[in-house]
Chain A
Amino acid sequence: MDIIVCVKKIPDPEIPPAKFKLDMESKRVIPPEGIPPVINPYDEQAVELALRLKDKYGGKITVLTIDNDADTSIVKHALAMGADEGIVLADKAFEGSDSFSTSHILSQAIQKVGNFDLVLCGRQAADWDEGLVGAIIAENLSLPLVTLAEAVDVVDGKLKVKRVTLDGYQIFAVPTPAVATVSNEVGQPRLPSGWGIISASRKQIPIWKAGDLDADPSQIGAKAVRRRLVKLFIPVREKKCEIIEGETTAEASVKLAERLRKAGVI
């Protein structure tokens, strides 16, 4: 089974709050100094799910990322885990993309890669958390979509996808090719292996530019953006401590309940 996995580079979600800074003017996150970005954890799980399918059915795994720094590190991370090929998509023309343009670029790249049975995305990118890209890719390519996949198998030539719900799961039978977004229930992704690191770090990763794709220029980059981010800010959370006094415990408890009701907590 041939699988394409879309992986995104994000700021390390473990950044201590004190180091998380925004540029409110350009509405961007300022990359924290000394803390390298990481592969989106959900995408790492998508790679893990792809590898489990490869372990069982064989086939080839190709990872794609749009990264305008042409940084190959997260693609190499996926290769070191066991993926076969990786491609970085980078071009000035991609600058300022939103979910639609991001998905357009990825859809074109997926078509250029060609032969595939399954496209996997993370359930959401852990920086912006929009969870849109997988769905828009499915729409662009007119493919069936299952979101929040926990497990995928092959039964009677069809994909059997287990989808997580709030209090249970659903099982879908889906014809190939298809798109699935992968949920964290997949569990811990494998570590890159020593041999994987050696071959990944010595591999040349192709960089595809806008011109390498059959992309519609009106669909990519800042000019294609269909919505505007009005404000990006870090909310200020205030902590206040109030001591509720009372002659007796019962009296204090009543006062506490009244105070909580006034605060709208109960």
Chain B
Amino acid sequence: MDFELTEEQRMFRDMARKFAEQEILPTLKENERQEKFDSSIIKKMASQGLLAPHMPQEYGGLGLDYVTSAIIWEALCWASLAVTQAAMSGPIQPATNLLDAGSEQQKQKYLPPVCRGDLILSGAVVEPNAGSDSSMIETTAVRSGNHWVINGTKVFITNGEIADVVLFIAQTDKSKGLKGLASFIVERGTPGFSSKPQKGRISWRGGSEGSLRFIDIELPLENQVGETGRALRDALRGIDTARLFLAAGALGIAQSCLDASIKYAKERVQFGKPIGGHQLIQEIIAEMATKIEAARWLIYRAADLKSRGIRHIKEMSYAKYFATETALWITSQAVKIHGSFGTFDDYPVGHHYQDAITATILGGTTQMHQLTIGQQLLEMAAFR
């Protein structure tokens, strides 16, 4: 067992951190105030070689293992989890899904431009009435001659507003439940396709969410991805990858809050000494640091199993659930340590505090991960 980062991992960590400082931080405050995602960051990440670390090189990624990729996420999210997630979400969930289930022609057509940052790809599963429970998906795909006719609505879709291409799941036969679900590709500009930004967020203000509307969209048969009935299973590895990176991102914001809190606690003097000299503050700092270390190793462990192709359902759920809930707690403590200053967006802690709550929701809510762990340990499902 080797707990040291490799030289390559250290180099990626340092580079990604500098990139975040140079390219994400300077505009973060203004963008968040305007609830704006500046999509030019996607191209910048691509030319830096950061956009698709885990994707195979033959499709334009770096072909890195998942531990190294998670380390990159942690370093980027040190600046902003929302911006990193919006920038990299295409190459993660939907691209991984295409990689697993798409035809070679589909992969060649979409994956290289997505990894180069030339094409924005969204993955759309969630609907107004189907969140954690995908069996409730109401978007319909009806076979009519040599094409599919699609009707429905998708919500909370990362980059839904700006996506060039969307990989989505629809129901082909309601009576079949999950076995009726199938995946399809739709390109912007297809008649019947429209999108709207979803504004007014209290969290993830540097990120990008939109809703999609499909009205009598006609899709050629070759736009189906994978087989009918396998859509959720095909999406799993991509969702699993998204979970890993959200966990690593949560770790990044937690680390940033610890860094900021240590600095502030040394500088801020109250009652005659730096507040870091008060025992109650030290207790918080100690608890923050310990939880961060615990989260870090849960994440690396899950990532390592994933890289090696070993089953890791509960390990990934431990990591996602613990890292995001830990980040939620740590970011709130960090704001408290900063006092009223912490409630302004001039300090990094406020940005992270806002984003942390969302990290516990997307990529599977905390409860869904707890239920997954429970199911794995007890061999019975509590959510069906």
Contact = CB atoms under 8 A, between A and B. Distances in A.
Nearest to A196: B49
Nearest to A73: B7
- Report the interface size class on chain A: 10 to 19
Interface string A48-85: 00000000000000000000000001001100100000
A193 B49 contact: yes
Interface string A187-203: 01001111111101110
Nearest to A201: B8
A194 B7 contact: no
B11 A191 contact: no
Nearest to A194: B49
Nearest to A80: B11
Contact of B6 (A77, A194, A201): A201
Interface in A184-233: 188, 191-198, 200-202
Contacts of B289: none
Contacts of B18: 191
B193 to A, nearest CB: 33
A77 B15 CA distance: 10
Interface in B1-48: 6-8, 11-12, 15, 18-19, 22, 47-48
Contacts of A73: 7
Contacts of A194: 12, 15, 48-50, 53, 62
Name, among A194, A196, A198, the residue most crowded by chain B CB atoms within 10 Å (CB to CB).
A194
A254 B8 CA distance: 64
A80 B10 CA distance: 13
Interface of B: 6-8, 11-12, 15, 18-19, 22, 47-50, 53, 62, 64
Contacts of A197: 8, 11-12, 15, 49
Contacts of B64: 198
B7 A76 contact: yes
B62 A198 contact: yes
B254 to A, nearest CB: 20
A74 to B, nearest CB: 11
Contact of A193 (B6, B8, B48, B53): B48
A198 B8 contact: yes
A3 B246 CA distance: 43
A196 to B, nearest CB: 8
A188 B18 CA distance: 12
Nearest to B51: A194
Contacts of B62: 194-195, 198
A191 B23 CA distance: 11
B76 to A, nearest CB: 12
A191 B7 contact: no
Nearest to B48: A193
A200 B49 contact: no
15 contacts: A76-B11, A188-B22, A191-B48, A193-B15, A193-B48, A193-B49, A194-B15, A194-B49, A194-B53, A197-B11, A197-B12, A197-B15, A198-B62, A201-B6, A202-B8
B52 to A, nearest CB: 9
A257 B373 CA distance: 75
A234 to B, nearest CB: 21
A73 to B, nearest CB: 7
Contacts of B12: 194, 197
Interface in A118-176: none
